[in-house]
Amino acid sequence: GSYPQILEKMREANFITMFCGIETPNPDALRAMRKTQNLRIPILEVVEKLNAHGIEVAAGIILGLDTDTDETADAIVEFAGVSNIPILTVNLLYALPKTALYDRLERDNRLNSGEGRDSNVDYLRGYETTYSDWQGVVRRIYSPEAIYSRFEANCETTYRNRWVPENPWSRLTWGNLRRAFDVMARMIWHVGIKADYRAHFWKMAWRELRRGHVENVFHIGFIAHHLILYARECLAGVKQASNYSARDIEPDSETVPV
């Protein structure tokens, strides 16, 4: 966010999404993990600058830090609402071999790769408590109300700031139209008719269609659908809480309502 010239060039190059390893909104936790580069500019200010250049932010968040408290989960949910970052990948802390974290936990006898765990870390607050916090955060930030609210905010603060080509109609071919109608039909069926949160979809769709923002309908409709189903799979225990988890999962479609 410190280089507006670069951000403007990114906008002109049609950069539309950026992943940011925010890790935690807690400044004290960032200092403890020596990630001071995240403290140079306030996180919310960085998000606003990226949004102002048409760049949607996706963020990585970690639960299970030694600095976590009983208030950490609520703070993450609050941060999601204040920042309006639509996509947050929330993972349990996992120690990878040959890292400083792994070496420290090994010295402290805090490595545990027991069966059924999604992390090899013995958390100070306990595995079950931390896992429950993770499920609670995912449930709250990816409820239909919360996810559509954040996307609605991005319609106002981000998408309208994107670069528009001089001749946007040049891509309007019969082939592209057929594909668009096919995709729209499937989205209407799965999201606008079958989904139990379809009212949120239609509220967004009518608003954006009236503005002529058809692309937003596709983008929000599909991404929100994926995130809502992902959250429900997390709550059903058929998604790992860490990208590095070795736990085997057996998806059960009957436990995940659509």
The pLDDT of residue 253: 45
Residue 161 has pLDDT above 50, yes or no: yes
Q: What is the DSSP string of 94-105?
A: -PPTTSHHHHHH
Rounded Cα–Cα distance for residues 169 and 173 (Å): 9
Query: Is residue 13 classed as helix, strand or coil in its secondary structure?
Result: coil
Residues 6+ away with beta carbon under 8 Å from 52: 157, 161
Residue 213 has pLDDT above 70, yes or no: yes
Residues 6+ away with beta carbon under 8 Å from 159: 54, 56, 213, 216
Is the domain covering 4-147 a CATH 3.30.750.200 domain?
A: yes
Confidence band for 256, pLDDT divided at 50, 70 and 90:
very low
Residue ranges covered by each domain of the chain: 4-147
High-pLDDT (> 70) share of the chain, %: 94
Count each helix (H run) and each strand (E run) in the chain, helices first.
10, 3
Model confidence, pTM: 0.90
Residue 88 has pLDDT above 90, yes or no: yes
Residue 93 has pLDDT above 60, yes or no: yes
State the average pLDDT for the chain. 91
Residue 59 has pLDDT above 70, yes or no: yes
Count Cβ atoms within 10 A of the Cβ of residue 145 and give its class: 0-12 exposed, 13-18 middle, 19 or more buried. Answer: exposed
Q: What average pLDDT does the segment 160-166 reach? A: 87
Contact 186, 118 (CB under 8 A): no
| pLDDT tens string 107-120 | 999 999 888 899 99
